[in-house]
Amino acid sequence: MQELRIDLGARSYPIFIGDGLLSRADLVAGALAGKADGDTFAVVTNTKVGPLYLDSVKRALAGKRVFDVVVPDGEAFKTLATIERILDALAGERMNRDGVVIALGGGVVGDMAGFAAACYQRGVAYVQMPTTLLAQVDSSVGGKTGVNHPAGKNLIGAFHQPVCVIADTATLLTLPERELRAGLAEVIKHGMLADLEFFQWIEGQIERLLSREPDALAHAIRRSCEIKARIVGLDERERGVRALLNLGHTFGHAIEAATGYVGWLHGEAVATGLLIASDMSHRLGWISRSEFERVHALLQKAGLAREAPRIGVARALQLIGMDKKVRADKIRLVLMKPLGHALVTPECPAETLRSVLTAYFGAT
């Protein structure tokens, strides 16, 4: 087992990475010490993950009061209506302030269980038990929680840090191939935004990652969490540097919003977003053609070179305009200069943006 720490003062917490950790009750108990009594646990999961791992988690919590809340699977259900359903369940079980919510599942479950924990009784403790690569390398770490709104992805939510993150790498063995690839998009993103050496390592290990070799996956998760933990530790509430973690996400969110959050996995949309951000960085002269081509080649090898939907440049611009990274009505983008180093553009060259968007989303 590996252990990292995310440093946020009184809200600091450990990230555990290793094989078979879902059955380790001691990890939860240790993380809760001094924070909540931990007599009652609400395990929030979905119809796909529940049948696989709910029993293990419940066995590990033997002797405690445990109930589960099973929500439908998929980003389409990441809505306030589902949050209300989770809150109804917590209230229906009369959970009190010392109760603990466990998020058992991928990013969607984690975001919703975390947001419900943030709102219930004005905030109860919660534990992240991510079961997808995407959640293990990204969404379970850093305390962003929330749901989508027709006007924008993750438009409603809270910053609410978990008491610990337990990434059981054994869960990746049951992960559908497509979700594994989608998770790799965020791994690649971490290399692109902060660590060229890690990016090179991924280029060299991509076949081993795709064939789920445990040591390769464990290193990818650890290095991703290290990069994310360092940035979140500097800027918990995304007033500045944390925005760099959104590399590829402005474009990715536009794809997800345009398609109604169906048909595209989040990681797939981010991957196409990473390609667009690389192209934009190249057109501005900030990364070289060969760097752009390396990104393209790696995404292709990872099976992540999906074409953006032809929604037209006008609609794409509109969707980007509602993104949370907008400040003072100016569109600010996260780009690279050079590969391995992301930055937030002070303001966006409108003509370059328009031609890049036209190339990917079409003229009309």
Dihedral sign, CA of 245, 4, 339, 341?
A: positive
| Distance from C-alpha of 160 to C-alpha of 118, rounded to nearest angstrom | 6
290: left (phi over 0), alpha (psi -120 to 50) or beta: alpha
What is the nearest approach in angstroms of a second copy to the Cβ of residue 126?
14
Active site residue 48: no
Residues near a second copy, by CB under 8 A: 37, 39, 80, 84, 87-88, 91-92, 94, 96-98, 118-123, 144, 146, 149-152, 154-159, 237-238, 321-322, 324, 326-329
Q: Which residue lies nearer to a second copy by CB, 83 or 277?
A: 83
State the catalytic residue, choosing from 94, 122, 239, 289.
Answer: 122
* 245, 193 Cβ separation under 8 angstroms: yes
Dihedral sign, CA of 82, 87, 90, 93?
A: negative
Using CA atoms, how far residue 58 sits from 33, 54, 91, 308, in Å, is: 19, 6, 20, 41
Active site residue 253: yes
Whole-angstrom distance between the N-terminal and C-terminal Cα of the chain?
Answer: 51
Q: Which residue lies nearer to a second copy by CB, 37 or 55?
A: 37
Active site residue 291: no
What is the nearest approach in angstroms of a second copy to the Cβ of residue 176?
30
What is the nearest approach in angstroms of a second copy to the Cβ of residue 144?
7
| Distance from C-alpha of 285 to C-alpha of 296, rounded to nearest angstrom | 17
What is the nearest approach in angstroms of a second copy to the Cβ of residue 310?
24
Active site residue 337: no
| Distance from C-alpha of 122 to C-alpha of 99, rounded to nearest angstrom | 12
Active site residue 246: yes
Active site residue 64: no
Q: Which residue lies nearer to a second copy by CB, 85 or 283?
A: 85
Active site residue 122: yes
Strands (E), 173-239: none
State the catalytic residue, choosing from 219, 223, 249, 282.
Answer: 249
Q: Which residue lies nearer to a second copy by CB, 145 or 272?
A: 145
State the catalytic residue, choosing from 78, 153, 253, 294.
Answer: 253
What is the nearest approach in angstroms of a second copy to the Cβ of residue 167?
23
Which residues are tagged catalytic? Answer: 122, 144, 186, 228, 238, 242, 246, 249, 253, 266
